[in-house]
Structure 1
Amino acid sequence: MCKICKKNLEISDHESRPIFPFTAIVGQEEMKFSLILNVIDPKIGGVMIMGDRGTGKSTAVRALVDLLPEISVVADDPFYSDPNDPESMSDYVREKVQKNEPLIIKKKKIAMVDLPLGATEDRVCGTIDLEKALTEGIKAFEPGLLAQANRGILYVDEVNLLDDHLVDVLLDAAASGWNTVEREGISLSHPSRFILIGSGNPEEGELRPQLLDRFGLHAQIGTVQEAPLRVQIVEQRAGFDQAPLLFRQKYQNQQTQLAQLLLAAREHLHKVQIDSKLRIQISQVCATLNIDGLRGDIVTNRAAKALAAFESRTQVTPQDILRVGPLCLRHRLRKDPLETIDSGEKVRAAFEKILN
């Protein structure tokens, strides 16, 4: 093999298909803030990004890949099971553990999987090879997108246009953390714990309340109106399109610093405490706003702790709750079908009244 060909093969994915740097995105702070909180604590439950066309929704989500840390996985497991978490292991790994067989462990970067609008149920959930199952008695499984997204991020662009049946499949997997495939009396389950990130344009229709409630956070973004910022965005995009590798190098230090901050925050998260008085006040706000269920309470607590961890603090403050409250609750407010989602002012006012 010639030296040039070999060199080309050694080029990394980011170099062969450069991604716009996350730290180079101008404006849209609410969206970036929501994505960062979910990287720190995946149990927040994902984020729904709603905004106008051409506001950088897909660009921001794909730029997140550079910031994702590495995780430990079982090398020969197609579901990327955590070797240190028996509850989320696949059947294959669990059987090896029970037989005291050694596990080959490797490091892998958290993956982001795109779910296309035209995907079939088999492509999303995976399929069982019925012929092999019936003739050889082996549960041969072809993993789908939910298997690839386990312990990673599942991104659905234009999620409000997704087929209702696939929406239900995503809801079941997101709620239980497991995906079950049943064909002709044969059933197979595998872990499917992922951060669900969706984006869409509100002009093309709102989501069903059941799906909205599954998203931990709701970020609203709009077209930048300030002329200097618009010029800066155009120049940034032009610079990246003209020389993407050189453009990425300019932001390498900022990217590295943010990635290190996120990694430290993830490791630091378990040390963060939230005072019982603040927990009560969060629940008081949820009750005052007449929010159904307890998901709003749980997400607000988690998001506030993730923010404290990101800022290297061990105690949640009322200001943390004020910052994350609107993102956690505004899409859970009861509203008339013809109304749009609250901008966050109603939620912010309720928090200010009770916290003060």
Structure 2
Amino acid sequence: MAPPPLFSPASAPAASPALFSASTSRPLFVTAASAVSARTPSSRRRWGSRRRLTVRNVAAPEASTATKAAGGAKESQRPVYPFPAIVGQDEMKLCLLLNVIDPKIGGVMIMGDRGTGKSTTVRSLVDLLPDISVVVGDPFNSDPYDPEVMGPEVRDRVLKGDSLPVTTAKITMVDLPLGATEDRVCGTIDIEKALTEGVKAFEPGLLAKANRGILYVDEVNLLDDHLVDVLLDSAASGWNTVEREGISISHPARFILIGSGNPEEGELRPQLLDRFGMHAQVGTVRDAELRVKIVEERARFDRDPKSFRQSYLEEQEKLQEQITSARGNLGSVQLDHDLRVKISKVCAELNVDGLRGDIVTNRAAKALAALKGRDTVTVEDIATVIPNCLRHRLRKDPLESIDSGLLVIEKFYEVFS
């Protein structure tokens, strides 16, 4: 059963006040009292007890350098296909939007035929990502207001009572190449500097750049096992630890994991598959008129990307406002206890291992209600998201011919009737 069509941006509610300061012309400052609570996380105690050398992040940019680099990158970057211009594939687009609204859903696994626009859709999400507050010059995109996602240097400064220069930046999307080395992903420690100068010279990797952002792995089912192990460790703990020659450095690595692939090219390890909050299946469009429209739109984009993007600018801005409003209202969305019980009953009767399916379904239903501008979750919201939250968590039966998503829908109607 196909999910209801994606909520139209044209009917988006008025945008709520910005979550963070929109000005980037001058840094804001936050004091230690407002930036960190009295409770110190265990990771901070572990870091403090082992810290004997000064930490220096060789890749950390200065404020002026970061601003200039961002401006230059904006002008020179390749044009991105606009998200509203993508025809069909509502299930995939909805899963991506829900994860932007609530990153704690845990990411999306997109599986489907080749040439169905999986990578194009994921990369088009960049323009819709909202702004977040970050500490100027910090390579880990540290949150100045949440000690749980602060880098070690920033946390040390806060504990000393130093003020933090704060600015706003777009949520970043980092591509993880299939051939990346483990050092490039995790980061490297300069052993020579550690021995000669007595400093922990650390060059952050892709996991540091993806902190509080999105990590995208195309053809994730072809990823080498050693990189899969790294992703599993970071996704489970939210921290990345680099150990070299008796030197240990840890930093936060909390990201939305998005993967795409073709099931014909191989299956994904069950441990990694379970780490994805939602699973979207993408099929080839069979309607001839829609296929013609997709081909014509792509040809128009290739001829003149700038004017093509301009033609979708109004829809893009409406969708951005809708996402911002949904993120602001997410905390006020309510899910009745009876509906929670029925969700858990569906998971139990489908023999879903663990409780991650229950948690993700609850979060996704709330995010969908917020996207539609409501403060209460309905049965229709749950029916829309529950196949995507549970289908990849069912135990595989080689003799079963029915699609796992249909099994979830059948059990849903059986319980909720």
TM-score interval, normalised by the smaller of the two chains: over 0.9
Q: Give the deviation of 1:336 after TM superposition.
A: 2.9
Residue pairs, 1:320-339, within 5 angstroms: 320-336=381-397
Tell me, yes or no, if the aligned pair for 2:239 and 2:250 is still in contact at 8 Å: yes
Matched, 1:120 2:176: no
Question: Corresponding residue for 1:105?
Answer: 166
Stretches of structure 2 that go unaligned for 5 or more consecutive residues are 1-69
Whole-angstrom CA distance in 2 between matches of 1:66 and 1:212? 27
Tell me, yes or no, if the aligned pair for 2:394 and 2:404 is still in contact at 8 Å: no
Structure 2 counterpart SS, 1:79: coil
Question: Corresponding residue for 2:269?
Answer: 208
1:38 to 64, 83, 99: 99
Matched, 1:73 2:173: no
Cα deviation 1:306-337 (Å, max 9, x = unaligned): 00010111111111111000000000000136
Whole-angstrom CA distance in 2 between matches of 1:156 and 1:139? 30
* CA spacing shift, 1:21–1:128, aligned 2, 3 Å: same
Tell me, yes or no, if the aligned pair for 1:153 and 1:196 is still in contact at 8 Å: yes
Whole-angstrom CA distance in 2 between matches of 1:28 and 1:321? 19
Q: Give the deviation of 1:13 after TM superposition.
A: 2.3
Whole-angstrom CA distance in 2 between matches of 1:72 and 1:94? 15
Matched, 1:225 2:323: no
Q: Give the deviation of 1:151 after TM superposition.
A: 0.3
TM-score by length of 1: 0.95
* CA spacing shift, 1:231–1:154, aligned 2, 3 Å: same
Cα deviation 1:240-295 (Å, max 9, x = unaligned): 00000000000000000001100110111000111111111111000000000000
1:342 counterpart letter in structure 2 = D
Whole-angstrom CA distance in 1 between matches of 2:130 and 2:336? 29
Cα deviation 1:84-139 (Å, max 9, x = unaligned): 10121111001100111110101000000000000000000000111111222211
Whole-angstrom CA distance in 1 between matches of 2:76 and 2:401? 41
Q: Alpha carbon RMSD of aligned pairs, Å?
A: 1.5
Matched, 1:21 2:82: yes
Residue pairs, 1:40-59, within 5 angstroms: 40-59=101-120
Structure 1 counterpart SS, 2:180: coil
Tell me, yes or no, if the aligned pair for 1:330 and 1:341 is still in contact at 8 Å: no
Tell me, yes or no, if the aligned pair for 1:331 and 1:342 is still in contact at 8 Å: no
Matched, 1:181 2:236: no
Whole-angstrom CA distance in 2 between matches of 1:126 and 1:286? 39
Structure 2 counterpart SS, 1:140: strand
Question: Corresponding residue for 2:373?
Answer: 312
Whole-angstrom CA distance in 2 between matches of 1:192 and 1:16? 25
* CA spacing shift, 1:119–1:340, aligned 2, 3 Å: farther
* CA spacing shift, 1:102–1:11, aligned 2, 3 Å: closer
Matched, 1:267 2:267: no
1:209 counterpart letter in structure 2 = P
Tell me, yes or no, if the aligned pair for 1:15 and 1:245 is still in contact at 8 Å: no
Structure 1 counterpart SS, 2:110: strand
Whole-angstrom CA distance in 1 between matches of 2:399 and 2:169? 45
Matched, 1:248 2:322: no
Matched, 1:151 2:212: yes
Structure 2 counterpart SS, 1:300: helix
Q: Give the deviation of 1:158 after TM superposition.
A: 0.2
* CA spacing shift, 1:11–1:341, aligned 2, 3 Å: farther
Structure 1 stretch 334-343 or stretch 270-279: which is displaced more?
334-343
Whole-angstrom CA distance in 2 between matches of 1:244 and 1:11? 19
Cα deviation 1:148-188 (Å, max 9, x = unaligned): 00000000000000001100100110111100000011100
Say how many residue pairs are matched. Answer: 348
Whole-angstrom CA distance in 2 between matches of 1:278 and 1:127? 48
1:262 counterpart letter in structure 2 = I
Stretches of structure 1 that go unaligned for 5 or more consecutive residues are 1-8
Question: Corresponding residue for 1:3?
Answer: none
After TM superposition, the runs of 4+ consecutive aligned structure 1 residues lying more than 6 A away are: 9-12, 338-341
Identity %: 71
Q: Give the deviation of 1:349 after TM superposition.
A: 1.0
Whole-angstrom CA distance in 2 between matches of 1:124 and 1:337? 36
Question: Corresponding residue for 2:61?
Answer: none
Q: Give the deviation of 1:31 after TM superposition.
A: 0.5
